[in-house]
């Protein structure tokens, strides 16, 4: 089963809309805001600097980057035309932010021309992350900054008890919507092999006790099981209802560690 994030548009308009919404919702969670703002603190923003986000989806993180890089420009790139179109609408009026359809293994930028390359939950969705890291190394200027933030999907959990059906959805999502759920464990070696000097590595717990962040696992996972003929729509609806019930009665408990890596070219 291929990770649908490798080609979001192939999933159709409804899937593009669902992904766009899920990315926007996730980025608003207080813990995700903190993770992002903490790594944005570690980037330098020289006048005229060029910062690119690769695999930016709707550009929800690129918008935050643009708010920091006020004297430079931010280019939000993604291979999905549908997500780029959604991002262009959401980013309207931000003068130092532009959008491009592009895959991360082949960027149009000259070598040593870019100040920052950011990958936020992208490398776990590609078959060969070393190709994207090599391209980042090519376009970054010497001393430029690489930021990688990714989820340790192997530890995805939505578990309140042994055999919890919501936890099955979380595990199903990690199996079917992620290309390499062990990416985080390999990240430091991959970045070193691409010629970068590691300056920062930390892992932060994204704990989900409210909101719809974990609904991505239950909703998308359930829909995928229905489409595959594994369960009927009634069960998928029941799983969504159970997520809502836990959200309302205060028993929702999800967990996914996020790693942040910063390195210099």
Ligand X SMILES: C[S@@+](CC[C@H](N)C(=O)[O-])C[C@H]1O[C@@H](n2cnc3c(N)ncnc32)[C@H](O)[C@@H]1O
Binding residues for ligand X, rule: CB under 6 A, are 5-6, 8, 23, 27, 54-57, 60-61, 78-80, 83, 103-105, 120-122, 125-126, 132
C-beta contacts of 222-231 below 8 A and 24+ residues apart: 222/169, 224/4, 224/172, 224/176, 224/177, 225/172
Secondary element (H or E) of residue 204: strand 197-208
Q: How far is the CB of 163 from ligand X (least distance, A)?
A: 28
CA-atom Rg of the chain in angstroms: 18
Shortest approach of ligand X to residue 3 CB, angstroms?
Answer: 8
Min CB(162)–ligand X separation in Å: 29
Write the DSSP string, 34-88: HHHHHHHTTS---TT-EEEEES-TTTHHHHHHHHH-TTSEEEEEES-HHHHHHHH
Cβ 53 vs Cβ 62: under 8 Å: yes
What span, in angstroms and rounded, lies between the C-alpha atoms of 220 and 19?
Answer: 9
Two tokens at 65?
Answer: 């980057």
Instruction: Please state the closest distance from residue 121 (CB atom) to ligand X, in A.
Output: 4
Q: Cα–Cα distances in Å, from 145 out to 14, 70, 111, 122, 142?
A: 35, 17, 14, 17, 9
């Amino acid at each position: 089963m291929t990770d649908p994030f490798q080609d979001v548009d192939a999933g159709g308009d409804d899937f593009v809309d669902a992904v766009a919404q899920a990315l926007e919702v996730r980025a608003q969670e207080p813990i995700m805001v903190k993770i992002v703002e903490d790594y944005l603190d570690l980037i330098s923003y020289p006048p005229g600097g060029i910062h690119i986000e690769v695999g930016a989806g709707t550009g929800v993180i690129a918008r935050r980057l643009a708010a920091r890089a006020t004297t430079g420009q931010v280019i939000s790139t993604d291979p999905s035309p549908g997500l780029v179109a959604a991002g262009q609408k959401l980013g309207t009026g931000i003068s130092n932010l532009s959008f491009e359809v592009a895959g991360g293994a082949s960027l149009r930028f000259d070598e040593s021309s870019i100040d920052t390359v950011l990958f936020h939950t992208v490398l776990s969705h590609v078959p060969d992350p070393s190709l994207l890291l090599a391209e980042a190394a090519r376009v970054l200027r010497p001393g430029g900054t690489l930021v990688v933030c990714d989820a340790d999907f192997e530890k995805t959990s939505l578990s309140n008890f042994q055999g919890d059906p919501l936890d099955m959805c979380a595990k199903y999502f990690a199996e079917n919507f992620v290309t390499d759920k062990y990416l985080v464990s390999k990240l430091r070696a991959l970045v070193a092999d691409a010629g970068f000097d590691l300056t920062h590595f930390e892992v932060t717990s994204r704990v989900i006790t409210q909101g719809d962040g974990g609904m991505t696992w239950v909703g998308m996972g359930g829909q995928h099981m229905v489409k595959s003929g594994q369960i009927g729509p009634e069960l998928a609806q029941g799983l969504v209802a159970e997520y809502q019930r836990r959200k309302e009665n205060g028993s929702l408990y999800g967990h996914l560690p996020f790693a942040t890596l910063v390195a210099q070219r």
